[in-house]
Chains A and B, each alone.
Chain A
Amino acid sequence: MGFSLSVSSGVTLTPEVSYVCAKIFHLNLILDRAIMKISREDVLKVAALANLELTDAEVETYRGQLDDILTYIDKLNEIDTSNIEPMTQVLAAPADGSALREDVVVRSDVIMEVLQGAPDPAPLYFRVPRVIEK
Chain B
Amino acid sequence: MSAATAWTIPEVRAALGAKKISARELVKEFYARIERRNPELNVYLALSPERAYAQADRIDAAIASGDALPPLAGVPLAVKDTISTRGIPTTCGSRILEGYKPPYDATAVTRLEHAGAIVLGKTNCDEFAMGSSTENSAYGPVRNPVATDRVPGGSSGGSAAAVAAGLAVVSLGTDTGGSIRQPGSFCGIPALNPSYGRVSRYGLIAYASSLDRIGPFAHTVGDAAAVMSVIAGRDPLDSTSAATPVPDYAAAMGRPLAGLRIGIPDDYFAEGIDPEVRQKVEAGIRLLEKLGCRRVSIRMPNTDYAIAAYYIIATAEASSNLARYDGVRFGLRVPGATLIEMYQKTRGRGFGAEVKRRIVLGTYVLSAGYYDAYYLKGQKVRSLIARDFREAFEKVDAIITPTSPVPPFRLGERTANPLQMYLADIYTVTGSLAGVPGISIPSGKTAGGLPIGLQIYGPAFGEERVFQLAHAFEQAGGAEL
Contact = CB atoms under 8 A, between A and B. Distances in A.
Interface of A: 1, 9, 38, 42-43, 45-47, 49-55, 58, 62, 65-66, 68-70, 72-73, 75-79, 81, 84-91, 94, 98-101, 110, 113-114, 116-120, 126, 128-131
Q: Which 9 A-B residue pairs are closest in the complex by CB-CB distance?
A: A53-B348, A86-B379, A119-B333, A81-B380, A53-B344, A51-B343, A90-B435, A113-B103, A87-B382
A43 B196 CA distance: 34
Given A52-B356, A69-B418, A87-B433, 13 more contacts: A38-B364, A43-B360, A51-B347, A66-B364, A75-B304, A76-B305, A84-B381, A91-B196, A99-B239, A116-B101, A119-B331, A119-B333, A131-B339
Contact of A54 (B330, B342, B343, B348): B348
A50 B384 contact: no
Interface string B325-336: 011111111011
A91 B197 contact: yes
Contacts of A90: 196-197, 210, 240, 435
10 contacts: A62-B356, A66-B360, A70-B364, A73-B311, A81-B380, A87-B382, A90-B197, A91-B196, A116-B101, A130-B339
A69 B309 contact: no
Given A51-B347, A69-B418, A129 B363 contact: no
B344 A79 contact: no
B7 interface: no
Interface residues of B, number: 73
A79 B103 contact: no
Chain B contact residues: helix, strand, loop or mixed: helix
B300 interface: no
A35 to B, nearest CB: 16
B361 interface: yes
A75 B305 contact: yes
A73 B309 CA distance: 8
Contact of A50 (B327, B332, B359, B382): B359
Contacts of B338: 129, 131
Contact of A51 (B326, B361, B374, B383): B326
B342 A128 contact: yes
B446 interface: no
